[in-house]
Structure 1
Amino acid sequence: MGKDNGGDDENNRSPNPEHVEKKEEEELSVERLFEKQQVPSWTRQLTMRAFAISCALSVLFSVIVMKLNLTTGIIPSLNVSAGLLGFFLVSTWTKILTKCGFIAQPFTRQENTVIQTCIVASSGIAFSGGFGSYLFGMSDRIAAQSTDTNTVDIKNPHLLWIIAFLLVVSFLGLFSVVPLRKIMIIDFKLTYPSGTATAYLINSFHTPQGAKLAKKQVRQLGRFFSFSFLWGFFQWFYTAGDNCGFSSFPSLGLKAYQNKFFFDFSATYVGVGMICPHIVNISVLLGGILSWGLMWPLILKKRGDWYSADLGLQSMNGLQAYKVFIAIAIILGDGLYNFCKVLSRTLSALYVQLRRKDVNNILPVADQASAVSSEQFSYDDQRRTQLFLKDRVPTWFAAAGYVGIAAISIATVPHIFHQLKWYYVLVIYLFAPTLAFCNAYGTGLTDWSLASTYGKVAIFLIGAWAGSSRGGVIAGLAACGVMMNIVSTASDLTQDFKTGYLTLASPRSMFVSQIIGTAMGCVISPCVFWLFYKAFPDLGKPGSAYPSPNAVVYRNMAILAGHILRLICSLGPWSGLCGSGINKAKADAFVPAVASGMICGDGIWTLPASILALAGVKPPICMKFLSRADNARVDKILGGS
């Protein structure tokens, strides 16, 4: 006979669905793991050690971004790497102080977020500062490779004016999107994939389970950092001349090497390839095959037919012109497509959001609290929303900051670039907040910042307005810098707001950290560029270690823009751009650490290499590859001597 429990035994009853759902929610809740930890005030999140470590890592990351700017022009997202390295250094700092008998301030995820924000803001200037594009495109080195060498359209880099220019244009974007933070993060719930991924990483570091994984990740980072640094040091000994060393290894043969198909043993590119999406890697590979393997050899055969056979390969009246202007056409076409795609998604999503919500509840005012009932929020959402709306950056402060800095910029920039009139800058600043919102919103949807595309739009509009005879090239390039800095920093800040929202970091600490990081970047990035500029005399020249391929492209865009108005007038009636199949979980966990180690190790070696170059210390060996016939001739010459 079966034993009757009278149906009152709780173990035999079917579970209450609401009870099960609540229990599952508690198990999955991130904020319940940190429920017993007090969230520090926004001022205590901004520590001296955080900014000291941010400054040191900003130098490293600026070197990495600068190196990529001046070589491939492809810059991956470094948010995760910044968060990981920040965690590693502060954790090490805290342990050392504790072992020495000092009481160290607890390291919180909010402080970790502040460090990551500051590093990304600072190193971001190395990209938006245009050192590999519009700013370097003003120089005589790039003008010599272009179609126009008018001295009116040349402004060579100098450390002081670069720093001054960045200081007056790099902060506008921050003030333009501060009032919109509630709309972006809470009302529209934009995902900001990179910001969200960084927040999850930082949250996991500060849990017991995550700390164990972080130790393993840091161990892998340290291994590959050391390997990458030592490998860069080893390669240096074999680079005593042009095209010497492992960076030009003819793995596919000498014929392929002549068409730029060779293996570069730089660990930086391996790390970047691990971080970049597969579509980017495939696109770069196909682009290299189609251009260097197919198009340029075919156009070269037309020498003497399509262009004079007497011209050198670097002449802008010969093969180089085909390379540059085909590249411009592809970049503009791809950029226009992505601009339309992201803009259409932005407008479509905005329309849907505005239809779903009461317009009065989503005005761009950061001060208003959300009136949504708690039933519509999970515990995590309630906790995060409460703290996100607590420390507000007043709207009046953001508006006053924008107007004040804009006024200073309008008065200052024309003195740095006399071709860029004050009313050009004023027009840019009138439209900039709208474009900054579009870029920040589009980045939240697609994780794709179109800052460079908006910059190219400014090149064509302002360059055409100024005209080629009135310094339109410099005016267009400078306008590109003004626009790029605004829309780039705007999307970076909203990305960091998302990270701060998910880690309970105060919006005020995020904003202050972004301001300090941007100020650091306005000094660090020009100094790093100046180090490259002085250490490598062939910087920007085709075939050199740092050819800066985008600079000549941007300059020629500005040249085209200067002639657009004249062309329109003459035509008109008024004439007079694989994950591991072995273990995906481990790959996802350790790929960022391994890639970061390889990128950072190779990047940090660039600093001593530049110092050695400035000191006149040259490598002792040149390793080159010759064909059998050339080698026999060299042996004969050497034997004869």
Structure 2
Amino acid sequence: MAAACERGKILGEPDTEIPSIEKLFEGREEIPAWIDQITLRSMVVSVILGFFISVMIMKLNLTTGIIPSFNVAAGLLGFFLMKSWTRTLQHFGVSSKPFTRQENTIIQTCVVACSAISYSGGLGSYILGMSSTVAKGFDDKRTALDVKKLSLGWMIAYLFLTSFLGLFSVLPLRKVMILGYRLTYPSGTATAHVINGFHTPQGALVAKKQVSLLFKSFWGSFLWSLFQWFYSAGENCGFKAFPTFGLTAYENKFYFDFSATYVGVGMICPYLINISLLVGSFISWGMLWPWIKGKKGLWYDAHLPESSLSGLTGYKVFISIAMILGDGLFQFLAVIGKTTYDMYNKQQASSSIAPFSNVSRENDDFDDLSSNHPYLTFDDRRRTSVFLKQQIPSSLVIGCYCFFAVFSMILIPQIFPQLQRRDIFILYLVAPLLAFSNAYGCGLTDWSLGSSYGKLAVFVFGAVAGVKDGGVVAGLAACGVAMGIVSIASDLMQDFKTGYLTLTSPRSMFVSQVIGTVMGCIIGPSVFWMFYKAYPIGDPNSEYPAPYARVYRGIAILGVDGFSALPKNCVKLCLAFFFFAFVVSATREALKNLKSPIYDYIPSAMGMAIPFYLGGYFTIDMCVGSLIMYIWRQADQRASTVYGPAVASGLICGDVIWALPSSILSLFKVKAPICMQFIPHS
């Protein structure tokens, strides 16, 4: 709705304006002072939502690693809880401040900053990859320097040290990114439009129905998970072990496991991603692994246990890594190329064509972008005026960055003796450049390359430390520093774009980011610790195999040892699939730029890589989610577009929230009463 209202003013005709979103709010809202936008009630709601979304992300991170965006869900649930809060107080005759879109934005920002730590903090990937559980899966006979015993205390301290530097790394460039370069930040823009829509009369009615459907699907999913639990008394028991397509297909990981979580994820993810996952399942578990299994005794020792990386599992892990790296390398080069090209065009653009191109980026001079600028739309003038108020002094930001950098250089080697202070100094020296590059590219493409920078750090710093000095843990720890700074910087700019479009003060946005980051550094590790104590996390045969923990440790081992430890012909296959993924990604990008209809039928290389290790069971679930959305769209396209994400979020929430009581039961050694299992009649 809002996008159609923002076509702006015709250049050269200052008095000719068409309706805009800010016209709807003009006269209806009074913009609160920045300190009043951050309220006690918004922080209480943020803690509640931050915890529950962190649980959802953690479960997804520890199962398949496929995590959809929860930005809109955070905004929607924040809107619902705050509206319920104010109405309850009114019912008892207690007056309260009106709930504004600025407060809604603060909640959404705080919740996303909190829950993002559960992913970018590496709790299910590079931190877990340091553990002895994951190391055993690699048949590692390494020294104690290559394993780190997990502890809640040092994980919280480490996340505090790495996360806050990301907040300060690109903060001085916020006006250049949002006003000077006018980057779109698609996710931040979409979230802003949703929040703006909630606070119009029509949008409030739609939000009310969305919340109603979300809670209906939530309770349905929760009760279904409870029902399934009664039949899961032992290993390979229950609906999750239902051989939907027969026992042979089940042995090859092809079955529908009745997971509401991945049906919901499938409803949110694009059709092409879900089909790519299914194609990857057929290529790996349908063709490649049976073929390699036939080489047992020729390519690898036939007596090795199935989990050994010197056998079939080695091919599964490292070919999957090769595809992820091939796709990641292309995306990295593509985004860097787009960033460079776009910056060059902006420098060459004439000020008469680009209203913001006359901004002096060196002097941070934005005086010409006042609310009276004749060539800006009404929306732009109002938003720019608010965005330029109550700024954060750049000198304070730079001082804070230097303070945290020095502090981290002292403390991180205390946590990881394998990582030298000079390594951390180099990381912090280049981090602002990497953060700027990533934030700029994310503004253009909505694609964050935080994990790519992290994998690069694993290779470089692991190789520098070497085998004798614990290169595996050194590389993984360096990955955390690089990925934390780069990922959080791009998330911060996304949120600044949201704040710009909802007239939320940059100062209140930054403060809410800081509060959300503090919450995430405590809540994220605590949620992880709950799973870690209740389940054998990282064990490939467990309910939570944490595939990316093995991926990151595998990358670290390759960086330190090279390819010498891989089974026969594994290097050749890895190279083949590395180039295959690179070519597929390049083909997709070329067809996209040519606007070819064939683009819609080329699978995603990253999507195909994920089931190479895990199997096809969750891809079946996600394709069922796609089928539900397809049928719904054929019946009522508008309703499916508006209400589909709410229903999907409810399915995910209900199943994931069941993980809390399930974990408590597991901690107290309470088992289900029945084991439902299927065996051949022979």
Tell me the equivalent position of 1:381. Answer: 380
Tell me the equivalent position of 1:33. Answer: 24
State the Cα RMSD in Å. Answer: 2.0
Mapped to 2, the partners of 1:398 and 1:352 lie a distance apart of 29
Tell me the equivalent position of 2:593. Answer: none
1:243-282 matched pairs, under 5 angstroms: 243-282=236-275
Quickly say closer, same or farther: Cα 1:564–1:295, change in 2 above 3 A. Answer: closer
Mapped to 2, the partners of 1:365 and 1:605 lie a distance apart of 54
Tell me the amino acid that sits aligned with residue 659 of structure 2. T
Tell me the equivalent position of 1:595. Answer: 648
1:269-418 matched pairs, under 5 angstroms: 269-356=262-349, 361-363=359-361, 368-371=366-369, 374-418=373-417
Tell me the equivalent position of 1:105. Answer: 97
Q: Aligned match of 1:546 in 544, 547, 552?
A: 544
Could you tell me whether the CA contact under 8 Å between 1:185 and 1:498 is conserved in 2?
Answer: yes
- The answer to whether the aligner puts 1:95 opposite 2:87 as a matched pair is yes
Could you tell me whether the CA contact under 8 Å between 2:450 and 2:487 is conserved in 1?
Answer: yes
Mapped to 1, the partners of 2:360 and 2:452 lie a distance apart of 28
Mapped to 2, the partners of 1:365 and 1:60 lie a distance apart of 43
Quickly say closer, same or farther: Cα 1:628–1:86, change in 2 above 3 A. Answer: same
Could you tell me whether the CA contact under 8 Å between 2:360 and 2:366 is conserved in 1?
Answer: no
Question: What is the DSSP-based 3-state SS (H/G/I as helix, E as strand, rest coil) of the residue aligned with 1:521?
Answer: helix
What is the Cα deviation at residue 361 of structure 1?
Answer: 2.3
Could you tell me whether the CA contact under 8 Å between 1:141 and 1:541 is conserved in 2?
Answer: yes
Q: Aligned match of 2:637 in 584, 609, 626?
A: 584
- The answer to whether the aligner puts 1:69 opposite 2:67 as a matched pair is no
1:169-208 matched pairs, under 5 angstroms: 169-208=162-201
Tell me the equivalent position of 2:212. Answer: 219
Question: What is the DSSP-based 3-state SS (H/G/I as helix, E as strand, rest coil) of the residue aligned with 2:407?
Answer: helix
Tell me the amino acid that sits aligned with residue 403 of structure 2. G
- The answer to whether the aligner puts 1:627 opposite 2:619 as a matched pair is no
Mapped to 2, the partners of 1:465 and 1:423 lie a distance apart of 11
Tell me the equivalent position of 1:518. Answer: 517
What is the Cα deviation at residue 565 of structure 1?
Answer: 12
Mapped to 2, the partners of 1:492 and 1:57 lie a distance apart of 18
Q: 1:166-196: CA deviations, max 9, x gaps? A: 0111011111111111111112111111111
Question: What is the DSSP-based 3-state SS (H/G/I as helix, E as strand, rest coil) of the residue aligned with 2:96?
Answer: coil
Mapped to 1, the partners of 2:435 and 2:363 lie a distance apart of 16
Structure 2: unaligned runs, 5 residues or longer:
1-8, 352-356, 566-605, 607-625
Question: What is the DSSP-based 3-state SS (H/G/I as helix, E as strand, rest coil) of the residue aligned with 1:505?
Answer: coil
- The answer to whether the aligner puts 1:230 opposite 2:228 as a matched pair is no
Could you tell me whether the CA contact under 8 Å between 2:369 and 2:384 is conserved in 1?
Answer: no
Mapped to 2, the partners of 1:370 and 1:118 lie a distance apart of 32
What is the Cα deviation at residue 442 of structure 1?
Answer: 1.1
198-207 or 538-547: which moved more?
538-547
What is the Cα deviation at residue 228 of structure 1?
Answer: 1.2
Mapped to 1, the partners of 2:87 and 2:369 lie a distance apart of 44
What is the Cα deviation at residue 280 of structure 1?
Answer: 2.2
Mapped to 2, the partners of 1:55 and 1:403 lie a distance apart of 29
Q: Aligned match of 1:124 in 98, 110, 116?
A: 116
Mapped to 1, the partners of 2:423 and 2:98 lie a distance apart of 50
Q: Aligned match of 1:135 in 112, 116, 127?
A: 127
1:448-467 matched pairs, under 5 angstroms: 448-467=447-466
Tell me the equivalent position of 2:665. Answer: 612
Q: 1:595-634: CA deviations, max 9, x gaps? A: 11111111211111111111222111111122222xxxxx
Question: What is the DSSP-based 3-state SS (H/G/I as helix, E as strand, rest coil) of the residue aligned with 1:429?
Answer: helix
Q: Aligned match of 1:50 in 17, 42, 48?
A: 42
Could you tell me whether the CA contact under 8 Å between 1:173 and 1:487 is conserved in 2?
Answer: yes
What is the Cα deviation at residue 18 of structure 1?
Answer: 8.3
1:462-481 matched pairs, under 5 angstroms: 462-481=461-480
Structure 1: unaligned runs, 5 residues or longer:
1-16, 568-576, 630-641
Mapped to 2, the partners of 1:209 and 1:195 lie a distance apart of 22
Quickly say closer, same or farther: Cα 1:362–1:78, change in 2 above 3 A. Answer: farther
Asked which structure has the greater CA Rg, the reply is 1
Could you tell me whether the CA contact under 8 Å between 1:182 and 1:365 is conserved in 2?
Answer: no
Tell me the amino acid that sits aligned with residue 660 of structure 2. L
Mapped to 2, the partners of 1:117 and 1:622 lie a distance apart of 44
What is the Cα deviation at residue 145 of structure 1?
Answer: 0.9
Quickly say closer, same or farther: Cα 1:230–1:467, change in 2 above 3 A. Answer: same
Tell me the amino acid that sits aligned with residue 395 of structure 2. W
Mapped to 1, the partners of 2:634 and 2:184 lie a distance apart of 27
Tell me the equivalent position of 1:447. Answer: 446
What is the Cα deviation at residue 279 of structure 1?
Answer: 3.0
Alignment size in residue pairs:
601
Tell me the amino acid that sits aligned with residue 94 of structure 2. F
What is the Cα deviation at residue 67 of structure 1?
Answer: 0.4
Instruction: Give the TM-score taking structure 1 as reference length.
Output: 0.91
Question: What is the DSSP-based 3-state SS (H/G/I as helix, E as strand, rest coil) of the residue aligned with 1:617?
Answer: coil
Could you tell me whether the CA contact under 8 Å between 2:14 and 2:374 is conserved in 1?
Answer: no
Quickly say closer, same or farther: Cα 1:22–1:225, change in 2 above 3 A. Answer: farther
Quickly say closer, same or farther: Cα 1:606–1:25, change in 2 above 3 A. Answer: farther
Mapped to 2, the partners of 1:409 and 1:566 lie a distance apart of 35
Tell me the equivalent position of 2:159. Answer: 166
Tell me the amino acid that sits aligned with residue 538 of structure 2. G
Q: 1:446-470: CA deviations, max 9, x gaps? A: 1111111110000011011111121
Mapped to 2, the partners of 1:458 and 1:311 lie a distance apart of 32
Q: 1:202-244: CA deviations, max 9, x gaps? A: 1011011111111111111111111111111111111111121
Q: 1:530-568: CA deviations, max 9, x gaps? A: 0001011x221112110011111111111111135999x
What is the Cα deviation at residue 283 of structure 1?
Answer: 2.0
Q: Aligned match of 2:146 in 148, 153, 158?
A: 153
Mapped to 1, the partners of 2:336 and 2:534 lie a distance apart of 42
Q: 1:59-117: CA deviations, max 9, x gaps? A: 10111110011001111111001000100111111111110110011100000000000
What is the Cα deviation at residue 23 of structure 1?
Answer: 9.8
Tell me the amino acid that sits aligned with residue 384 of structure 2. T
Quickly say closer, same or farther: Cα 1:156–1:279, change in 2 above 3 A. Answer: farther
What is the Cα deviation at residue 281 of structure 1?
Answer: 1.7
Tell me the amino acid that sits aligned with residue 67 of structure 1. K
What is the Cα deviation at residue 364 of structure 1?
Answer: 5.9
